[in-house]
Amino acid sequence: MRGGSSLFSTFRADMHAALLEFVGTTFFLTSAFGGVQAISAEANESGGTSFVDRDMKIALSFGFSLLVAAWLFFRITGGLFNPQVSLALLLCGIIGPVRFVLYCVAQLVGGIAAAALVLALTPGPLQANTFLAPGINPAQGVFIEAFITAGLCLAVLMLAAEKHLVTPFAPVGIGLTLFIGHLFAVFYTGAGMNTARSFGPAVVTGFPHGTQWIYWVGPTLGAVFAAAFYGILKHYEYWRLNPGQDTVDESQSPPDPIKKVATSRQRRLGSVSEASEAPSSIIANGEKLNGSDDVASETRPNDSPV
């Protein structure tokens, strides 16, 4: 009973946070899905566009949508918007199991709400489904999703969960991580990186592709990898490897390199001058020694038979 009471001791706050996490997830994914929908509509109107142009615009849409949404909700709920990020935080002991479950529900429902909103607000079929490109097998899809999701989760852990001077700017780094993940994978897998992002459009469109499981297994593996790596870094005190990186104390900056070179030169010149003075002292000592020998020779008894 005592453990159960402790587990649910913050249930009210967890519920409030989950409600706001639903709002944040809906805002983030509505913005991102809306961008994809607009890109597809513009391509149809203009008679098509290059894959490079399309993929770049999709990556920008998701990366900047997350950057803005995370910055807005960062101090409210943490701005996770992703069941896999929630899992990584749970595995690292940053959030509790109750909040984890509530967040996952809120994020999945937020994904569905965002997809439904975009479908209702824009003409044409929803364009935000994730699926594998031709030539990509399910195993490749799983590990591509695992890799890019691990990067995203690690960005959240190192930039937001790990407190340092630039933590208030963590949404920038997290949004850019989502952006580069899309640059890599949007053509191959659609760059899910987030089960809520893939699940929402699939629910609204009736699961048109049979690979939805990839966007559950791959990102989940990525979250586990990221949490394990973060745990290793913490255990071995990573901050000792390159200390002082978060300080604003200017005295910790490197010394003046020009002054350092000049000081080193002066020391070398001093050593040379000392070495040049050494022979004269040796001569002086030699003269002194010779003088001593003369004195000694004068006082030495004459051993000659004459």
Establish if 253 belongs to a structural domain. no
Q: Please check whether residue 199 lies inside any domain of the structure.
A: yes
Total of domains in the chain = 1
Q: Which two tokens stand for residue 81?
A: 């918007």
Question: 158, 157, 139: which is closest to 147 by C-alpha?
Answer: 139
State the pLDDT at residue 15: 97
CA dist., res. 148 & res. 82, Å (int): 13
Residue 219 resides in a domain: yes
Residue type at position 49? T
CA distance 265 to 271: 10
The token pair that represents 294 in the structure block: 């003369």
Question: Could you tell me if residue 291 is inside a domain?
Answer: no
- Per DSSP, 122 falls in state S
The phi-psi region of residue 254 (left if phi > 0; otherwise alpha if psi is between -120 and 50; otherwise beta) is beta
Inter-helix orientation angle 214-235/83-91, to 10°: 30
CATH of the domain at 61: 1.20.1080.10
Q: Which residues of the chain have pLDDT under 50?
A: 1-4, 282-284, 287-306
**Whole-angstrom distance, CA of residue 87 vs CA of residue 230:** 13
CA–CA dist 212, 146 (Å, integer): 14
Query: Whole domain around residue 138: which residue ranges?
Result: 10-240
Q: Are 88 and 227 in contact (CB under 8 A)?
A: yes
Asked whether residue 224 is assigned to any structural domain, the reply reads yes
Q: Say if 256 falls within a structural domain.
A: no
Whether 160 is in a domain gets the answer yes
Residue 130 forms part of a structural domain: yes
